[in-house]
């Protein structure tokens, strides 16, 4: 191994403060880095890896586990800039992707082939549903989500289905929840996944544990291979993940974990904050380094965040401080409704861009739930501000994408039951539920796989369904042959898209949706092309692509086009590790943030508080905390109370609601109730303020500062593109001719009132009858 010269190492080490330096150059043995928000954690991790390589460690012997693939990729690039192309040999990625890779090599020890499928949450849920149905259980009692959660928790604690069924504790719990059959469902679920040569997300970790437990030769190999194990975002690892790293580090004892207990926000999926707290017990020799200087944010922001987080009981002692400018106070923004909140913030962004010369990419809007993005999308669109939404239903969850991927999956792995169910009658080939059920029965009777039946269908049944199935089998077989012949992922996918008829069907569909779907497929094919064209990818086969694709994290989403200058919108969970000049934390209302479901016990509430802490500490210069007084919740207008978290931040850091700028009240706002509602509000607040602490002056001021909205002139006037404007219900009635930007010309046949929002039924010349919600639809009245 090359031992690099230290000219550069001296350079990069010089940039570090003493604790950072200590962390980077820690020679060997267990190391825990407690890294406060914005303390240069990524830099330390990067430099440490570079430093290790400088010390003569082969990149091939270093394992670095990150929270997202993107983080891994970025880190790899940064290391490459320091040490050169050797960085490519690092083992770096998420737990799931790294161990999926190892399981691909070693899985046969457990009875899986290297082509195993990875079931995503939808697949898992679908299988659970199927099983519940097969057991003739009531899926209103056995809620698939609950059952899946239960199984997931079991696996993450390394409880096998056998152990689950033997343990009376679980049985009692399930009986108490009136779901005594969960153990049986778990068993069947596990067996069915195995039979399908498929692993769900939890299996990737669970099976790795089993692999290392039962196959010491394999464990040994990787223990010796990984001379250094580094774990980022350690506070968000679960027991299953922790045990894997502990086993891997058992020989060399070179384990370095980086984390911040104050930023642990994934307990809901099994992350265990105790991992951090117990780490010392597992490694008595442990050296702990604390990084406490925040380089990211203003003093005001750091101090405000500190004043919040100190309300939590469970935390390590730590003193995060900033030596940056004191900075501006945190602005608290009050709006009368969720839509108003959207407009106010869009306007602030618009003005600030002009005033301070900021770019779209300097702004982020962070919310608790994905559903909250709507109002902001609308408002930003109206001001022509470009944005990107991270998360939500991702590209890969769209129906047409999942369909094509299911074909690819089935081509690679014919055991894949979920993929089979998706594609057997797609496009329509006249194979209905009856036929599929018959096949499943036959497979069970003859104790063979579904594919065995399908590929020899004529031996089992005849009739027209049999012909259709034979054709299907032949199609798949032709794909298998091409795969065997060594075609790469892109060639395969293009060929399959063309020859299944999926593409043809979508092409024929000239509706807007059909067009969009067609484009989505094209986009998927493009991204596969990128995959096979990428020189850093060694394995360009279809199985390799599928593996990568199923383990993409939401943060991994690429910008659709090269345009990076966009306002970012995402959940706070998604914002981890990121930073922005100006951050808006929105929807700060009781029962929304903190979420209603997290109010049951202290631990949950503290996790919500940490979540808020994460949100605040994303901001570099400007922070705006926003809440609305009313909000539509599942179609119902509800009155909201400011979040308790707002009141927990020390008042000296806040600027309470300024007479918040009146924002244009445009005519599409009928679902905003803006006029005063007198006594109603007061009583609502009183009746809902069960959990709120006694009102401090801050709260008083927040609540009293009521202001009328919608009279003064808006800030920047802006024309929506084209002639289309959101329609004004008062000028519409049955019989009027209108034009819609997507659907073209049509005639209104009916006007309705749904709640407080207007609906118009329009018969379009080319698209037939549509019912449009006027608060969203843009219609132009044709003279």
Partner DNA sequence: AATTTGTGTATTTTT
Partner DNA sequence: TACACAAATT
Contact status: 511 vs DNA (CB under 7 A): no
The distance of closest approach from Cβ of residue 637 to DNA in the complex, given in angstroms and rounded to an integer, is 10
Residues 175-194 that bind DNA (CB under 7 A): none
Contact pattern from residue 202 through residue 241 relative to DNA, giving x for each residue in contact according to CB under 7 A and a dash for the rest = x---------------------------------------
**Is 111 annotated in some ligand binding site?**
no
Whose Cβ is closer to DNA: residue 5's or residue 140's? 140
Residues 358-377 that bind DNA (CB under 7 A): 368-371
Does position 136 bind DNA by CB under 7 A? no
92: left (phi over 0), alpha (psi -120 to 50) or beta: beta
Catalytic residue among 106, 202, 232, 403: 232
How far, in Å, CA of 335 to CA of 56, rounded? 58
CA distance 472 to 496: 12
324 binds DNA (CB under 7 A): no
Residue 235 C-beta: closest distance to DNA, Å:
14
Residue found under tokens 């934390």: 585
Our CB check for DNA shows the closer of 54 and 120 to be 120
Q: Which is nearer to DNA, 268 or 737 (CB)?
A: 268
How is residue 517 written in tokens? 């779907």
Pick the closer one to DNA by CB: 273 or 465: 465
Q: How far is 282 from 30, CA to CA, in rounded Å?
A: 10
Q: Would you give the binding string for DNA spanning residues 548-587, x where CB under 7 A is met?
A: ---x-xxx--------------xx-xx-------------
| Active-site annotation holds for 372 | no
Binding residue for DNA (CB under 7 A) from 11, 113, 121, 652? 121
Structure tokens, 76: 């790899």
Q: Which positions ≥6 away from 45 have C-beta within 8 Å?
A: 64, 75, 230, 232, 258
Sign of CA dihedral 695, 698, 700, 704: negative
Q: How many CA atoms lie within 13 A of 171 on its CB side?
A: 7
Q: Which positions from 398 through 457 interact with DNA, judged by CB under 7 A?
A: 425, 428-435
3-state secondary structure of 449: coil
Q: Report H helices in 674-762.
A: 678-688, 697-704
Q: Are 273 and 231 in contact (CB under 8 A)?
A: no
- The nearer residue to DNA, 599 or 703, going by C-beta atoms, is 599
User: Where does 196-298 have alpha helices with state H?
Assistant: 201-214, 216-225, 239-248, 274-282
Cβ–Cβ < 8 Å for 185, 406: no
| Options 176, 357, 562, 635; binder of DNA; rule CB under 7 A | 635
The contact pattern for DNA, residues 379-398, with x = CB under 7 A and - = no contact, is ------------x-------
Residue 337, annotated as binding a ligand: no
458 binds DNA (CB under 7 A): no
> For DNA, which residue of 49, 465, 473, 656 counts as binding (CB under 7 A)?
465
**Interface with DNA, residue 481, by CB under 7 A:** no
User: At 746, which helix (H) or strand (E)?
Assistant: strand 744-754
Is 35 among the annotated ligand-binding positions?
A: yes
d(CA 235, CA 239): 11
Q: Is residue 768 involved in binding DNA (CB under 7 A)? A: no
Whole-number Cα distances in Å, 16 to 52, 96, 289? 16, 32, 14
- Tally the C-alpha atoms within 13 A of residue 266's C-alpha that lie toward its C-beta: 20
Q: With binding defined as CB under 7 A, does residue 461 bind DNA?
A: no
Q: Which is closer to DNA, CB of 588 or CB of 598?
A: 598
Task: Pick the catalytic residue from 41, 382, 576, 610.
Answer: 41
Q: Which of 386, 703, 773, 780 binds DNA (CB under 7 A)?
A: 773
Is 56 flagged in the annotation as binding?
no
Of 116, 161, 189, 201, the one binding DNA by CB under 7 A: 201
Question: What is the nearest approach in angstroms of DNA to the Cβ of residue 392?
Answer: 8
Report in angstroms how near the CB of residue 352 gets to DNA at its nearest.
26
When the beta carbons of 302 and 555 are compared against DNA, the nearer one is 555
Q: Which is catalytic among the residues 22, 25, 42, 761?
A: 42
**Which residue's CB is nearer to DNA, number 389 or number 480?**
389
Compare residues 169 and 393 and give the one whose CB is closer to DNA.
Answer: 393
Q: How far is CA 625 from CA 306, 344, 509, 606, in A?
A: 16, 12, 45, 19
- For residue 692, give every residue at least 6 positions away whose Cβ sits within 8 Å of its Cβ, in sequence order, or none: 590, 641, 644, 647, 699
Tokens coding 110: 């457990």
State how far the Cα of 25 lies from the Cα of 39, in Å rounded to an integer. Answer: 17
The answer to whether the annotation marks 36 as part of a ligand binding site is yes
Q: Give just the sign of the alpha carbon dihedral 485, 123, 400, 393.
A: negative
Please state, in angstroms and rounded to a whole number, the distance separating the CA atoms of residues 273 and 262: 9
Annotated ligand binding at 39? The verdict is yes
Per the annotation, the verdict on 618 as an active-site residue is: yes
Strand partners, 753: 758
Give me the least distance between CB of 749 and DNA, in Å please: 15
When asked if residue 598 is in the footprint of DNA (CB under 7 A), the reply is yes
Q: Is 88 in the site for DNA (CB under 7 A)?
A: no
Q: How far is the CB of 451 from DNA (least distance, A)?
A: 20
* Contact between residue 568 and residue 362 where contact means Cβ atoms under 8 Å apart: no
User: Catalytic: which of 48, 296, 422, 618?
Assistant: 618
93 marked ligand binding residue: no
Based on CB atoms, which residue is closest to DNA, 65 or 625?
Answer: 65
Query: Which residue out of 68, 263, 411, 568 is catalytically annotated?
Result: 263
Instruction: Please indicate whether residue 397 is annotated as part of the active site.
Output: no
Q: Is 263 a catalytic residue?
A: yes
Residues 238-267 interacting with DNA (rule: CB under 7 A)? 265-266
For the chain, helix, strand, coil in percent to 5 are 50, 15, 35
Q: Min. distance of Cβ 758 from DNA in angstroms?
A: 9
What's the CA gap between 646 and 153, in Å, rounded?
A: 33
Strand partners, 737: 747
State in angstroms the smallest separation of the CB of 329 from DNA: 29
Cis previous bond, 427, omega within 30: yes
Residue 143 assigned as binding residue: no
> CA-to-CA distance for 723 and 779, rounded, in angstroms?
9
Choices 77-85, 502-510, 639-647, 751-759 (CB under 7 A): range interacting with DNA: 751-759
> Of 11-19, 90-98, 109-117, 710-718, which segment contacts DNA by CB under 7 A?
90-98
- Residues 6+ away with beta carbon under 8 Å from 449: 195, 414, 415, 443
Give the shortest CB-599-to-DNA separation in angstroms. Answer: 10
- Secondary structure class of 237 (helix, strand, coil): coil
First to last CA, the chain: 79
- Least CB distance to DNA at residue 167 (A): 24
Distance of CA 449 to the CA centre of its chain: 34
Q: How far apart are CA 5 and CA 400, in angstroms?
A: 53
DSSP for 346-372 reads HHHHHHHHHHH---GGGEEEEESSGGG
> Which CB atom, from 145 or from 723, has the smaller least distance to DNA?
145
The count of chain residues that interact with DNA, using the rule CB under 7 A, is 50
Quick one: 202 or 606, whose CB is closer to DNA? 202
Is the preceding omega at residue 71 within 30 degrees of 0, hence cis?
no
User: Six-digit token pair at 22?
Assistant: 């200590």
Which residues fall within 8 angstroms of residue 286, CB to CB, at 6 or more apart? 29, 30, 31, 32, 279, 280
233, 589, 641, 668: the catalytic one is: 233
Positions at the binding site: 35-42
* Residue ranges in contact with DNA by CB under 7 A: 68, 94-97, 121, 129, 139-140, 143, 145, 201-202, 265-266, 268-269, 368-371, 391, 425, 428-435, 465, 551, 553-555, 570-571, 573-574, 595, 597-598, 634-635, 754-755, 757, 759, 773
Point out the annotated binding site for ATP.
35-42
Q: Which residues are catalytic?
A: 41-42, 232-233, 263, 618
């Amino acid at each position: 191994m090359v031992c690099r010269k230290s000219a550069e190492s001296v350079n990069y080490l010089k940039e570090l403060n003493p604790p950072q330096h200590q962390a980077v150059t820690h020679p060997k043995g267990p190391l825990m880095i407690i890294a406060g928000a914005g303390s240069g954690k990524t830099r330390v991790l990067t430099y440490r890896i570079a430093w290790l390589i400088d010390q003569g460690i082969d990149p091939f012997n270093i394992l670095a586990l990150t929270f997202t693939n993107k983080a891994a990729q970025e880190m790899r690039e940064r290391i490459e800039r320091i040490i050169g192309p050797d960085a490519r040999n690092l083992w770096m990625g998420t737990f799931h992707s790294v161990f999926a890779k190892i399981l691909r090599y070693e899985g046969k020890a457990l009875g899986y082939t290297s082509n195993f499928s990875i079931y995503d949450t939808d697949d898992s849920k679908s299988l659970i549903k199927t099983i519940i149905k097969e057991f003739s259980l009531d899926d209103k009692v056995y809620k698939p989500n609950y059952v899946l959660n239960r199984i997931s928790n079991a696996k993450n604690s390394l409880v096998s289905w056998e152990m689950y069924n033997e343990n009376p504790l679980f049985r009692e719990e399930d009986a108490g929840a009136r779901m005594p059959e969960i153990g049986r469902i778990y068993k069947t679920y596990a067996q069915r996944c195995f039979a399908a040569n498929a692993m769900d997300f939890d299996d990737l970790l669970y099976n790795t544990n089993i692999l290392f437990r039962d196959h010491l030769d394999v464990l040994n190999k990787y223990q010796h291979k990984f001379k250094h194990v580094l774990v980022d975002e350690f506070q968000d690892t679960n027991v299953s993940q922790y045990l894997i790293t502990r086993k891997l580090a058992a020989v060399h004892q070179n384990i370095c974990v980086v984390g911040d207990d104050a930023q642990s926000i994934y307990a809901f999926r099994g992350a265990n904050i105790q991992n951090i707290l117990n780490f010392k017990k597992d490694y008595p020799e442990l050296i702990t380094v604390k990084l406490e200087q925040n380089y990211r944010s203003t003093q005001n922001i750091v101090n405000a965040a500190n004043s919040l987080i100190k309300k939590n009981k469970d935390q390590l002692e730590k003193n995060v401080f900033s030596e940056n400018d004191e900075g501006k106070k945190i602005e608290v923004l009050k709006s009368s409704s969720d839509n108003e909140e959207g407009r106010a913030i869009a306007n602030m962004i618009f003005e600030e861009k002009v005033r301070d010369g900021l770019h779209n990419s300097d702004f982020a809007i962070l919310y608790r739930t994905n559903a909250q993005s709507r109002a902001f999308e609308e408002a930003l669109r109206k001001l022509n501000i470009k944005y990107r939404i991270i998360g939500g239903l991702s590209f890969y969850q769209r129906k047409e994408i999942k369909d094509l991927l299911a074909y690819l999956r089935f081509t690679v792995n014919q055991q894949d039951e979920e993929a089979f169910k998706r594609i057997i009658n797609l496009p329509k080939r006249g194979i209905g539920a009856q036929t599929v059920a018959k096949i499943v029965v036959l497979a069970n009777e003859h104790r063979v796989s579904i594919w065995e039946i399908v590929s020899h269908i004529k031996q089992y049944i005849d009739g027209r369904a049999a012909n259709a199935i034979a054709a299907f089998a032949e199609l798949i077989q032709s794909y298998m042959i091409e795969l065997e012949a060594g075609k790469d992922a892109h060639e395969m996918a293009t060929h399959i898209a063309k020859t299944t008829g999926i593409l043809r069907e979508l092409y024929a569909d000239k509706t807007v949706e059909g067009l969009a779907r067609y484009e989505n497929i094209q986009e998927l094919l493009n991204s596969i092309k990128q995959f096979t064209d990428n020189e850093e990818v060694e394995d360009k086969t279809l199985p390799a692509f599928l593996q990568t694709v199923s383990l993409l994290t939401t943060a991994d989403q690429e910008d659709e086009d090269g345009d990076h200058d966009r306002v970012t919108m995402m959940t706070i969970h998604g914002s981890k590790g990121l930073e922005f000049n100006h951050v808006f934390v929105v929807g700060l209302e009781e029962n929304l943030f903190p979420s209603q479901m997290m109010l049951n016990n202290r631990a949950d509430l503290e996790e919500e508080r940490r979540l808020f802490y994460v949100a605040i500490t994303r901001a570099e210069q400007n922070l705006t905390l926003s809440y609305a007084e009313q909000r539509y919740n599942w179609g119902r207008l509800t009155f909201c109370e400011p979040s308790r978290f707002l009141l927990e931040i020390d008042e000296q850091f806040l600027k309470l609601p300024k007479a918040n700028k009146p924002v244009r009240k445009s005519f599409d706002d009928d679902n905003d109730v803006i006029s005063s509602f007198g006594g109603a509000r007061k009583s609502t607040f009183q009746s809902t303020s069960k959990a709120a602490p006694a009102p401090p002056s801050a709260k008083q001021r927040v609540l009293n500062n009521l202001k009328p909205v919608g009279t003064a002139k808006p800030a920047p006037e802006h024309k929506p593109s084209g002639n289309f404007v959101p329609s004004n219900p008062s000028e519409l009635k049955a019989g009027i001719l209108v034009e819609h930007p997507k659907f073209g010309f049509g005639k209104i046949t009916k006007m309705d009132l749904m709640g407080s929002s207007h609906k118009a039924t329009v018969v379009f010349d080319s698209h037939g009858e549509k019912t449009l919600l006027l608060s969203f639809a843009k219609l132009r009245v044709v003279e």
